[in-house]
């Protein structure tokens, strides 16, 4: 069944749409004893009960397809006389009216459902007049067939939590009475399946609340179907294999797993671009091999992972999308951003170091220039006359007595100029 088909059935589980003919059940204690049985015409239920039972039916078809909801097929032998599919067919045909048959089925559930505490087995019967649907999904007022089906829901029954309450008869606060309360649906199934908007007696839709540890023993023994892993189980099994091979204690294992997640996500995107929405991308041997190669896993470890995956999943390779961990992908994005920032910081550090080296060199040059200036000033203070001339002029300077005074004579051509104390002058 797909999402649309599930939603089509669930739309009926409302006050104005519900057409359940009957609801029956059996309350089982922790010792697997049948404590009591119930059986009612659904539409005759009190309003409070009516809504509670509708809520349970809704829950039995809720959650994510492929994780909470699994499509299971019956093997041929279960469809023969005495098979588990056959008893479901009989329950449907008798519309849950045969008490002896119901009692036999309750015994089957009790023998195959592994639960330590008390629980309630509920069975709903309904008949849905399936209307013809046009290509634009509008219903026409003509029936294609009557889809007659059962919903079986198993709910844990636990004592309410201890606490204080108002004791009305005694007009005081005291310990409240603890009641046995029916909890949310733990395990359920719809039979027969509603595949292609039609009755499919060869299949059933299985529901599990706990996707990490579903009641696989009930899938196999209660329904007689093969065990199907939830998406969560597939992800946990695959990741466990990779961690065991790479080394759970190795500090690089988690980084490699993140790389695998990212590469697989990209492979899924590429697959979806070239395939129809209905096509399922499986993590088969070829895909696993390419994925490990793209993730730079060594040949020796890749070979061990491939072998372990094949042993764990056999002829039912996991759905690639189920192995994806959305949290891991987000974590990988943050890791990539962090590495990019670290590279930027590294580049900026190199640039800063280069600027520091340039600044040091410039500072050294300024210090040398300052020393030169300081030396010049010192010379100026030591001598009465300080001359700075071009090298070619130095040899032309002569000492001469003029008017009884010793003078320095510097020959000047007509086109030559001089600067005295920083002031240009023409001599």
For the chain, the domains span 3-228, 235-324, 391-425
Rounded-to-integer distance, Cα 12 and Cα 57, Å: 10
Structure tokens at 374: 């300081």
What are the angstrom distances between the C-alpha of 413 and each of 7, 49, 133, 352, 420? 110, 125, 114, 54, 17
Rounded-to-integer distance, Cα 297 and Cα 315, Å: 24
How many other CB atoms are there within 10 angstroms of residue 150's CB atom?
19
Which pLDDT does position 134 carry in this prediction? 65
Instruction: Tell me whether residue 27 is exposed, middle or buried, using C-beta atoms within 10 angstroms of its C-beta: 0 to 12, 13 to 18, 19 or more.
Output: buried
Degrees (nearest 5) of the Cα angle 339, 347, 295?
30
- β-sheet bridge partners, residue 148: 127
Which pLDDT does position 332 carry in this prediction? 61
Which pLDDT does position 419 carry in this prediction? 79
The answer to whether 236 and 257 are in contact (CB under 8 A) is: no
How many other CB atoms are there within 10 angstroms of residue 351's CB atom?
10
Q: Which helix (H) or strand (E) holds 4?
A: helix 3-10
Which pLDDT does position 22 carry in this prediction? 93
**Which residue from 256, 317, 246 is spatially nearest to 287, judged by alpha carbons?**
317
Q: How does the average pLDDT of the chain come out, rounded?
A: 86
3-state secondary structure (DSSP) of residue 324: coil
Query: Which string of DSSP letters, residue by residue, matches 163-214?
Result: -EEEETTTTEEEEPPP-EEE-S--EEEEESEEETTEEETTEEEEEES-SSS-
Rounded-to-integer distance, Cα 121 and Cα 9, Å: 21
Rounded-to-integer distance, Cα 190 and Cα 239, Å: 31
Q: Which helix (H) or strand (E) holds 405?
A: strand 405-409
Which pLDDT does position 326 carry in this prediction? 74
The answer to whether 158 and 118 are in contact (CB under 8 A) is: yes
Structure tokens at 139: 């219903």
Q: What is the pLDDT along the chain (427 residues), one digit of tens a residue?
A: 999 999 999 998 888 888 899 999 999 999 999 999 999 888 888 888 889 999 999 999 999 999 999 999 999 999 988 899 999 999 999 999 999 999 999 999 999 999 989 999 999 999 999 887 666 666 566 677 899 999 999 999 998 888 888 888 888 888 888 888 999 999 999 999 999 999 999 999 999 999 999 999 999 999 999 889 999 999 999 989 988 888 866 767 878 888 888 888 889 888 888 888 778 889 888 899 999 998 888 889 899 999 999 988 888 888 888 888 877 667 666 666 676 777 777 777 888 888 888 888 888 888 888 877 777 766 666 666 777 788 888 888 888 888 888 888 888 887 777 877 767 776 6
Which pLDDT does position 138 carry in this prediction? 62
Which pLDDT does position 265 carry in this prediction? 87
Structure tokens at 293: 């190669």
């Amino acid at each position: 069944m797909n999402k649309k088909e599930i939603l089509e059935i669930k739309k009926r589980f409302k006050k104005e749409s519900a057409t359940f003919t009957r609801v029956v059940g059996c309350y089982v204690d922790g010792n697997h004893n049948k404590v009591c049985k119930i059986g009612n015409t659904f539409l005759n239920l009190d309003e409070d009960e009516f809504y509670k039972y509708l809520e349970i039916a809704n829950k039995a078809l809720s959650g994510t397809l492929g994780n909470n909801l699994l499509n299971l097929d019956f093997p041929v032998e279960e469809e023969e006389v005495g098979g588990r599919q056959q008893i479901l067919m009989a329950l449907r045909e008798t519309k849950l009216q045969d008490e002896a048959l119901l009692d036999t089925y309750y015994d089957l559930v009790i023998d195959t459902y592994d639960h330590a505490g008390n629980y309630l087995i509920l069975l709903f019967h309904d008949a849905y007049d399936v209307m013809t649907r046009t290509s634009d999904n509008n219903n026409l007022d003509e029936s294609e067939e009557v889809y007659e089906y059962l919903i079986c829901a198993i709910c844990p029954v636990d004592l309410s939590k201890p606490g204080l309450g108002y004791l009305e008869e005694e007009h005081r606060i005291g310990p409240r009475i603890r009641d046995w309360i029916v909890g949310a649906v733990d395990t359920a199934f719809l039979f027969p399946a509603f595949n292609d908007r039609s009755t499919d007696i060869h299949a059933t839709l299985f529901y599990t609340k706990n996707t990490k540890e579903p009641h696989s023993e009930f899938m196999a023994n209660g329904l007689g179907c093969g065990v199907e892993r939830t998406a969560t189980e597939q992800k946990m099994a695959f990741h466990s294999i990779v961690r065991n091979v790479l080394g759970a204690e190795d500090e690089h294992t988690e980084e490699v797993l993140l790389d695998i997640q990212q590469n697989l996500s990209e492979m899924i995107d590429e697959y979806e671009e070239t395939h129809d929405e209905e096509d399922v991308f499986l993590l088969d041997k070829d895909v696993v091999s390419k994925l490990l190669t793209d993730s730079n896993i060594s040949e020796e470890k890749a070979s061990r992972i491939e072998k372990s995956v094949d042993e764990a999943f056999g002829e039912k390779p996991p759905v690639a999308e189920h192995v994806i961990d959305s949290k891991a992908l987000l974590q990988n994005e943050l890791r990539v951003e962090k590495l990019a920032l670290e590279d930027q910081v590294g580049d900026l550090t190199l640039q800063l170091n280069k600027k520091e080296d340039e600044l040091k060199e410039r500072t050294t040059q300024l210090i040398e220039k300052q020393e030169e200036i300081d030396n010049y000033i010192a010379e100026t203070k030591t001598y009465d006359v300080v001359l700075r001339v071009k090298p070619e002029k130095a040899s032309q300077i002569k000492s001469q007595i003029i008017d009884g005074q010793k003078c320095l004579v510097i020959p000047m051509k007509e086109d030559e100029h001089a600067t005295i104390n920083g002031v240009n002058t023409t001599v």
